[in-house]
């Protein structure tokens, strides 16, 4: 689990308190799951893939994650 203080960040992607991968796991995925569970509208017009392209360079599995996030950006764009 992530330290609760890391979630208090006001910086986009919580960049000042956690790695991008942590933000995906503990913030983004959690938030999307909550929205779906409560039948709330999903966010629109956002771009997560560019941040993934910048932060996941040369990390294992990055191509697949970037491809998935690009598709999500397009779908919700």
CB count within 10 Å of CB 43 equals 12
pLDDT, mean of each 10-residue run, the chain (77 residues): 92 94 95 96 92 92 94 93
Total-model pTM? 0.86
Fill in the DSSP letter of residue 26: I
Number of domains in the chain: 1
Q: What is the CATH number of the domain that holds 10?
A: 1.20.1440.40
The answer to whether 43 and 76 have CB atoms below 8 angstroms apart is yes
Please name which of 24, 26, 20, 21 lies closest in space to residue 3, comparing C-alpha atoms. 26
The domain of 59 spans 4-76
- pLDDT at residue 1, rounded to an integer: 84
- pLDDT at residue 20, rounded to an integer: 95
């Amino acid at each position: 689990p992530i330290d609760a203080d890391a979630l208090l960040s006001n910086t986009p992607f919580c960049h000042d308190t956690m790695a991008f991968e942590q933000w995906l796991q503990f913030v983004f995925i959690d938030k999307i799951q909550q929205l779906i569970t409560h039948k709330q509208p999903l966010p629109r017009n956002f771009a997560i893939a560019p941040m993934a392209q910048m932060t996941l360079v040369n990390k294992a599995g990055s191509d697949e994650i970037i491809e998935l996030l690009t598709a999500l950006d397009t779908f919700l764009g």
